[in-house]
Structure 1
Amino acid sequence: MKARSYMSFYEENPSCDKVDLLSFAKLDFNMVQKLYKKEIGSNTKWWRELDFATKVPYARDRVVEGFFWPFATNSEPKYSTARQMITKLSICISLVDDTFDVYGTVEELELFTKAIQRWDIQCIESLPDCFKVIFNAIMECWMEIEVFMNDVGGDSNLVLQHVKQAFSNIVQAYMVEAKWCHEDYIPTYDEYMINGILTSGSPWFTTVFIALGEFASKEMFDWISNIPFILKASSFAGRLTNDLSSHKMFSTNSRIKKENSMK
C-alpha cells in the first residue's frame, strides 16, 4: 500500500523519471500484486475445499485477514510458500478461537485441549464433527510444513517440535479463558496479562515466522520460548489494543440496541 502511494506522489513530482524508474516500479508492483492475489486465491480454495463454512458454521471467514499477518511480516516473493502455510495456520487458530468463544462446552473444550497437547484425535472421538474437522486441518498443516522443510533442507523435527508446542500453548491459554468465563471468575490484571501474552498470538506467530524463515535454530527457538522482554511487551500491546477495540465495539453495539429498544 505504501509502494502504491509512493508511485502516485513520485508521478506528480516534476523530476519524475517516467520512462525508466516509474515504468519499472509499476511493472514490479503489478507482478508482485499478481503473486499476492494468487496466494490469497490458493488459501481461499483451501478454505472452500475443506468446507469450513458448512462444517464449522459458527466460525468467521478470515482468509484475507489471516493473509495479512505473514504478508506484513515478510512480503518478499521468495517467501510465497511460507506465507500460504502461515495463513492456513492463522486461520486454524481463528477456528479454534471461535470454537472456544462461541461453541464448545467446557467439557468439550477440555477434551479438545487434551487432543492438541497429545496430537491424538482419539481424544475427541466423542465430540461433534466440527472439532475433528479443525483438528484434521491442523494436522494437514504439520504435514505441509514437514514436506516444505525437507524440500529446503531444514530440520523438520526441530521446527515441528516448536511450532506444535507454540500452537498447544495458545490453545491452553484459550482454555484458561474459557474456564474463567464458565466460572464467572474475574481475573486480576496480572493473571489476565500473563495469560494474555499467549492469547495475543505474538509468541505463536513469532515462532512460526522463525520456523519458516531463515533463522530457525535451537538457540533462536529457546530464546523465543522463554518469552523475552521485547516479545512480552509487544504481546501486551497487542492484547490491550485488541481488547480495547472489542470493548468499544461491544459498548457501541449495546448502546445502539438500547436506544432502538426505547424507540
Structure 2
Amino acid sequence: MEHRTPDRPSVVLEDSKWTEYFNQHQPFPCSYQSKGRIEDRMDELVWKVRRRIQQCVSKKENLFEGMKTVDVLERLGVGYHFEEEIAIYLDVLNRNPVAVDDLYAASLQFQLLRQHHYDVPCEILEGFMDENGNLKDTLKPNVDALLSLYEAAHLSKCHENILKRAIVFTTNRLSSLANGDHLPQPVRDKVLHALASPTHRRIKRLEAKNYISIYDNDKESNQDILELAKLDFHILLQMHRDEVMSLSTQWYKDLNPRCMLGRYIRERPVESYYWALCVCYEPHYAKPRMMYAKIFVLLSFFDDTFDSYGTLEEVRQFNQAVQSWDEEAARQIGNCYAYLMSIISKTLEEFITEDGASQVGINCFKETMKDVSKCMLQEVVWRQEVHIPTVDDYFKQAAVISVMYLPVAVILFIRMNTSDEHFTWANSLPKIIEVTATMCRLMDDIAGH
C-alpha cells in the first residue's frame, strides 16, 4: 500500500531580523561609567526627588507642583521608584481640589486620579465647558492647559459625552496651533507628540525614551529628575538587553525548535520578549517578564502548528490530547505534537518549581489553553470547508483565541502576590477581558489584512 504524504498548508516565513542583532555586544552611551557609580548617583537623585514629593504632600499650596512632578516622573518611566510616595500624595490630592477656576490644574488632577483608578467624576471639568463641549469664551487657555485637558478627556467612561466633545475640541485647537508658526519648536514637538497618541495608550518604555528628549528641551525641567530619568533608562536598557540575550541565545537555543518542530514555525524570541517588556518593564518584574516571554514563544508554536502544519485530522486528534492534557496521546499523532505538549508541560512545571508560580494559576492557564485549542480547531474546520462564519460566531472565537487573552491569563499567575480568587475570576472570561480580547483580535486582523 502506497504511503501518501499529508497535504499540509504551504507557508513561507522570514527569519527574525532581531535575534542576531541582539546577540551582538554593543556598548551603550554612559558605558564608560561603572554600573556601581551610576547606581550610587541614582540613589542620591531618588532621595532628592522623594523629598520633593513629600514636601508637596506636607504643604497643600504645593499640590499643583506635586501634580506636575508625578506626571513627569511617570512619563519618564521612573515613577516605580516612588510608588509609596505617589500613593500617599494621590490620596491627599483626591481629598483636596486644587483649583476650581484653573483649567490646567483641574484637568491634570482629573487625569492623574483617573490614571490611578480613582472614581473621580467628570463634573469637575464641566464648569470650564459650554453645552457644546467647547471651552467657555471667557477662558484663554495656554498650551499646557489644552494638553492637560486633551489627556484628561481621553480617560472618559461611557456616557461622559462632555469629555468626548472635549477630545474633538482640544484636538482641533492643538492641531491648529501646531500647524501655525507661533509655537516655539520644543512646545510644538510636545503638542505633536500628544496628538499622535494620548499618554495612557503608549508603550511605557518608548514613551520614556521619547519624553526624555522632550523634557530635556523644556525650559522648566527639573535637572535632578531629568538626570535620574537618563541614568535609569540606561540601567534598564542594559538589564533588558541581557534578558533578551539570555532568552534568545540560551533558553531558545536549547529548545532547538526548527529541528524539533520544523520550518513552519515563526522564530520570534526577541519579539515575544518585547511583548513582555510592554506589559512590565520594572526591575522587580524581571522574573514574571521572562516567564511571560517564554510562554509567548510557546504559544506562537502552538498557533503555528494549527495554522501552518497540521492536517484537519491531526489537529482534531491534537485537540483531544490537549483537552485531556495527555502527552502520550499527542505522541501517537506525531513527533512535533509530542514535543509541543512536552515542552509546554515542562515549562509550566518549571514555573512552579523554579519561579514560584501558583499551581492554581497554572491549572487555570491549562484550562484556557483547552478553550483556545477548541477555537483554533474550529478555525481550521472553517478554512477547510471554505466557510465564512457569521459576525457573532467570529466574535465568540475572537474573544478566546485573541493574541491578548492568553497573556492576560499568564500575567495574572506570574505576579507573585496574586490570590487564587484572581485566577478563577480571570479564567471565567469576565466581560472586561472578553471585550478587550475581541478588540485586540480585530486590531490584529486589520493589521494583518
Number of equivalences? 242
Query: Which of 332, 336, 343 is 1:126 aligned to?
Result: 332
Query: Which structure 2 segments of 5+ residues have no match?
Result: 1-205
Do the aligned residues in 1 keep the contact of 2:276 with 2:289 (CA within 8 Å)? Answer: yes
Preserved CA contact (<8 Å) 2:404 2:441: no
Q: Which of 264, 270, 282 lines up with 1:64 in the alignment?
A: 270
Normalised by the length of structure 1, the TM-score is: 0.85
Write the distance in 2 (CA, Å) between the matches of 1:186 and 1:30.
50
CA shift, 1:157, in A, is 2.4
Output the amino acid matched with 1:229: K
Question: What amino acid is aligned across from residue 420 of structure 2 in structure 1?
Answer: K
Counterpart amino acid of 1:52? Answer: P
Partner of 2:407: 205
C-alpha distance in 1 between matches for 2:239 and 2:436: 30
Residues 13-92 of structure 1 aligned to structure 2 (within 5 Å): 13-18=218-223, 20-45=224-249, 46-55=251-260, 56-92=262-298
1:147 aligned to 346, 353, 358, which one? 353
Equivalent-residue separation in structure 2 for 1:4 and 1:202 (angstroms): 25
> 2:277 & 2:376 partners in 1: Cα distance?
25
**Contact 1:203–1:224 (CA under 8 A) maintained in structure 2:** no
Q: 2:373 aligns with which of 171, 187, 192?
A: 171
SS of structure 2 residue aligned to 1:5: helix
Residue 394 (structure 2) aligns with: 192
TM-score scaled by length of structure 2: 0.51
CA RMSD of aligned residues (A): 1.9
Structure 2 distance, partners of 1:225, 1:15, is 47
List structure 1 segments (4+ residues) > 4 angstroms apart after TM superposition. Answer: none
CA contact (8 A) 2:276 2:292 kept: yes
Letter in 2 for 1:31: I
Q: CA deviation at 1:229?
A: 1.7
Shift of 1:214: 4.6
Would you say the 8 A contact 2:269–2:297 is kept in 1? yes
Question: Tell me, which stretches of 5 or more residues in structure 1 are unaligned?
Answer: 248-263
The partner residue of 2:431 within 217, 221, 229 is 229
Q: Structure 1 vs Structure 2: percent identity of aligned residues?
A: 28
Displacement of 1:59 in angstroms is 0.7
Q: Which moved more, 1:231-240 or 1:124-133?
A: 124-133
Greater helix content: 1
Contact 1:201–1:235, Cα closer than 8 Å, also in 2: yes
- Deviation for aligned residue 1:119: 2.1
Change (3 A) 1:52 1:200: same
Question: What residue identity is the alignment partner of 2:271?
Answer: E
Partner of 1:9: 214
Structure with higher Rg: it is: 2
- Aligned counterparts of 1:165 and 1:201: Cα–Cα separation in 2: 16
Q: Which segment drifts farther, 192-201 or 53-62?
A: 53-62
Residue 218 of structure 1 pairs with residue 424 of structure 2: no
Instruction: Out of 214-223 and 23-32, give the one that drifted further.
Output: 214-223
Shift of 1:17: 4.6
Name the SS for the 1:66 alignment partner: helix
Aligned to 1:157: 359
- Residue 80 of structure 2 corresponds to none
One-letter amino acid matched to 1:29: F
> Greater shift after overlay, 175-184 or 20-29?
20-29
